[in-house]
């Protein structure tokens, strides 16, 4: 496994609301309803949750997270989460902000954070207790799962898989909002998938991935997992190689080797997803995006 120090993975769905600004989070007064930190915790496998809320409330979610990580094992061909992952749930915005600042002075505000600190051999998830916490934890636990096997995977794969496993298990990675967003870009700006562009995303800085980049990352992850037996096998083989080889070949090279016209295939794949979405007439059942993001 490659060495990585203190990387910070941020998520689109975890961006703050449109109405909240970063400055409003600097030295705010303590929330009236916030409670002192409690050491109460629950554990499932390598996951440990602590926080201010009643921990028994999270037992069903813990079970679901375990099941979701079982899905990851099956789909990605990896063994179980191999590193302890501490999840801390905050009911106070101030306490969450304070905990974030202790780890990173530059991180933009989010509802949830994933920290992979290789020096400390620990993975930590900090998350606000909201109505969307199940989405948030499925997303962040995907990062933990992937980083426990492949700590330096391409950013687009890291975020694409997190977006894939973020919906509930019954959705099987389906994210209508990403399809709608990408199709709007296709129709308005003749946008097309571009793996070279995705490969250039830099995860070494405190970044602010755009919602478009999250959507395209999801599309490529969805394509690799569902397009064909060969595409899924390619992904599984690359992940396995990553665990075993000092210098794994770039995933994008492997994709182009299998499908030299991969961008065209992914574009056609998006169109097919959109056709199915139109047939279903399905309404996105996720929370309104405007309440979750501060789109650029």
- Chain residues binding Zn ion by CB under 5 A are 9, 11, 159, 162
Instruction: Quote the CA–CA distance of 30 and 21 in Å, as a whole number.
Output: 17
Q: Minimum CB separation from Zn ion for residue 14, in Å?
A: 7
Structure tokens at 181: 């967003």
Name which of 144 and 262 has its Cβ closer to Zn ion: 144
Torsion region of 11: left, alpha or beta (phi above 0 gives left; psi -120 to 50 gives alpha) = beta
Contact 167, 176 (CB under 8 A): no
Q: Minimum CB separation from Zn ion for residue 271, in Å?
A: 26
Name which of 153 and 262 has its Cβ closer to Zn ion: 153
Cβ burial 205-218 (10 Å sphere, 16+ → b, else e):
eebebebbbbbbbb
Give the residue at shortest CB distance from Zn ion. Answer: 11
Q: Residue 114: count other Cβ atoms within 10 Å of its Cβ.
A: 28
Q: Phi and psi of 152, rounded to 5°?
A: -130, 40
Name which of 9 and 235 has its Cβ closer to Zn ion: 9
Name which of 11 and 231 has its Cβ closer to Zn ion: 11
Q: Which residue pairs from 288-293 have beta carbons closer than 8 angstroms and sit at least 24 positions apart in sequence? A: 289/177, 289/211, 290/17, 290/18, 291/17, 291/18, 292/12, 292/13, 292/14, 292/15, 292/17, 292/111, 292/132, 293/12, 293/13, 293/15, 293/17, 293/18, 293/211
Contact 106, 113 (CB under 8 A): no
Torsion region of 121: left, alpha or beta (phi above 0 gives left; psi -120 to 50 gives alpha) = left
Q: Minimum CB separation from Zn ion for residue 288, in Å?
A: 20
Q: Minimum CB separation from Zn ion for residue 208, in Å?
A: 12
Q: Minimum CB separation from Zn ion for residue 137, in Å?
A: 12
Q: Minimum CB separation from Zn ion for residue 108, in Å?
A: 13
Name which of 68 and 263 has its Cβ closer to Zn ion: 68
Name which of 144 and 195 has its Cβ closer to Zn ion: 144
Instruction: Quote the CA–CA distance of 90 and 13 in Å, as a whole number.
Output: 17
Name which of 162 and 262 has its Cβ closer to Zn ion: 162
Instruction: Quote the CA–CA distance of 109 and 107 in Å, as a whole number.
Output: 6
Q: Minimum CB separation from Zn ion for residue 2, in Å?
A: 19
């Amino acid at each position: 496994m490659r060495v990585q120090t203190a990387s910070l993975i941020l998520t689109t769905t975890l961006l703050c609301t449109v109405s909240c600004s970063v400055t409003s989070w600097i030295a705010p007064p303590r929330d009236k309803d916030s409670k002192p930190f409690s050491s109460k915790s629950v554990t499932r496998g390598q996951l440990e949750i602590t926080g201010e809320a009643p921990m028994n409330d999270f037992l069903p979610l813990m079970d679901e997270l375990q099941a979701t990580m079982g899905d990851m094992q099956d789909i990605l061909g990896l063994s179980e989460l191999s590193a302890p992952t501490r999840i801390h749930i905050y009911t106070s915005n101030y306490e969450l902000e304070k905990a974030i600042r202790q780890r990173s002075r530059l991180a933009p505000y989010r509802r949830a954070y994933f920290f992979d600190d290789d020096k400390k051999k620990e993975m930590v998830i900090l998350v606000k207790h909201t109505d969307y916490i199940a989405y948030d934890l499925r997303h962040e636990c995907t990062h933990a799962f992937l980083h426990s096997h492949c700590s330096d995977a391409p950013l687009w794969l890291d975020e694409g898989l997190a977006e894939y496993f973020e919906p509930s298990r019954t959705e099987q990675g389906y994210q209508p909002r990403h399809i709608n967003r990408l199709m709007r870009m296709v129709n308005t700006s003749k946008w097309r998938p571009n793996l070279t562009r995705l490969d250039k995303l830099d995860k070494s800085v405190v970044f602010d991935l755009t919602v478009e980049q999250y959507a395209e990352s999801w599309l490529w992850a969805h394509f690799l997992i569902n397009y064909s037996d060969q595409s899924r096998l390619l992904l599984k083989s690359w992940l396995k190689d990553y665990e075993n080889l000092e210098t794994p070949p770039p995933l994008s090279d492997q994709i182009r080797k299998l499908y030299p016209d991969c961008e065209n295939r992914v574009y056609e794949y998006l169109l097919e997803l959109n056709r199915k979405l139109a047939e279903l007439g399905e309404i996105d059942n996720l929370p309104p995006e405007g309440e979750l993001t501060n789109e650029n």
